[in-house]
Amino acid sequence: MTVRPIGVEVACDGPTGRDDCPNSAAIPAAITSLTARQVRADGRADGWTTRRTPGRLLDLCPNCRHARTRAPEEPTR
C-alpha cells in the first residue's frame, strides 16, 4: 500500500447522482492537485464531467457520463 498526500478525492456520483457508481470510480488526481478544482481539472483530461443540480455538483466518470438513460433530466426516447 502506498501512502499519498491526498488533499481531496473526487469520486463519481453515479449515473443518477443517487446511486453509487457501478465502477466505484474516483479521479486519479495528479500529485500536485490538492483542491477539488485541481482534481476536477485532472479528471476532465480523462473524460470526467460535472453536472450541476439544485444544491450540489455531481461528478461523473467517463462511464457514467454515457449512462444517460437513468438520469432523471434526460427524456426517454
How far is CA 23 from each of CA 30, 37, 42, 47, rounded to the nearest angstrom?
Answer: 20, 22, 18, 15
Amino acid at 33: S
DSSP-assigned beta bridge partners for residue 53: 56
- Positions 42 through 61 that interact with Zn ion (CB under 5 A): 61
- Complex with Zn ion: residue 27 or 61, whichever CB lies closer: 61
**Window 6-45: contact mask with Zn ion (x via CB under 5 A):** ------x--------x---x--------------------
Residues forming contacts to Zn ion in the complex (CB under 5 A) are 12, 21, 25, 61, 64
